[in-house]
Amino acid sequence: MSDVIEVTRDLALSNIPKRNQFTHKGDYGRALLICGSRRYAGAPFFAAQAAVNSGSGLVFLAHPEALYSILAHKLNEPILLPLPDEDGILDSEAISGIIAELEQCSACLAGPGLGRSRGIDDITGFLLENSKKPLVLDADALYSVSHMPDKLKNAKAKKVLTPHEGEFSRLYPGFKPENRLDAALKFSALYNCILVLKGHRTLTCLPDGSAFVNTSGNAGMAKGGSGDVLAGIITSLIAQGIEPETAAYTGVWIHGAAGDFCRDLFGEYGMTPTDMLTCIKVVMKGSEQSSWQKDSGFCH
């Protein structure tokens, strides 16, 4: 029987280290995000801004050249890395531009809004075969991963996969939602990865059989873009030096807590992932103030 641990506010925020006064941006990690396509221009915005708002010192956003003018208008803090694309989707030529950044980054995210193509498969396969830095794989990178299970299993880097149940069904045929904990634990052990199975009470499962069940979040978060925000948060925490296992379940709680704050401010129907980006900052402030909002009803 696996150990199932509830992730509470106190547990999650205790994992965020206090900042030393004598530090600079280089001390808080270099997050590399590979995101976006012509059809999904919002995904790289959500992921990159979430990485900034959750504390990463430097955020590098690799994206199709076709999106440069859009992203340059929307994003101020991330460093933009336009790469070769074909019809608005990154192609295999982008790998040469990713190589140098991958060597310098602290953590790498691939997937949000990338689209599906042979080029995206090539990029995902390259990351699995060559990255020595922790990888967070989401969305369309997970679609590519479903075609290359051996590369996933043999990857040397630590891997965090963040599927919702539909994506997980593709990765793990025969999955039944009523057995989600058992299936998630088996998948994590089989592929030696950290699995974040999203949904009501998101599960984070580790290869050693440990499982963490989230206690934050609400139905108002069920909107396009919310998963991109989560992927950015987790990548940012890893880039800052938090172990991927801890960063995964901590990021899930922060994401849900930001959603709870939004619900209390705007309601479940009106709240948006854009609102959540601002609320991440308030949640992160809680790690600096131990008494923050303990009795307010915000960020349960």
Domain positions in the chain are: 4-16+26-285
Q: Is the pLDDT of residue 2 over 80?
A: no
User: What was the pLDDT predicted at 291?
Assistant: 38
- Measured between alpha carbons, how far is 35 from 50 in angstroms, rounded to an integer? 13
3 state DSSP class of 156 = coil
**What is the CATH architecture assignment of 4-16+26-285?**
3-Layer(aba) Sandwich (3.40)
Q: Of 20-29, 82-91, 224-233, where does mean pLDDT reach its minimum? A: 20-29
Half-sphere exposure of 44 (CA within 13 A, CB side): 38
- Measured between alpha carbons, how far is 284 from 56 in angstroms, rounded to an integer? 12
User: What was the pLDDT predicted at 263?
Assistant: 98
User: What was the pLDDT predicted at 300?
Assistant: 34
User: What was the pLDDT predicted at 286?
Assistant: 86
- Per-residue pLDDT tens digits for 33-77: 999 999 999 999 999 999 999 999 999 999 999 999 999 999 999
User: What was the pLDDT predicted at 293?
Assistant: 42
Entry pTM:
0.95
- Measured between alpha carbons, how far is 145 from 159 in angstroms, rounded to an integer? 12
Would you give the distance in Å from CA 163 to the centre of its chain? 10
Sign of torsion, CA 11 15 19 25?
A: negative
- Which of the four pLDDT bands, split at 50, 70 and 90, describes residue 91? very high
- Per-residue pLDDT tens digits for 284-298: 998 876 433 443 444
- Pick from 137, 104, 111: nearest CA to 239: 104
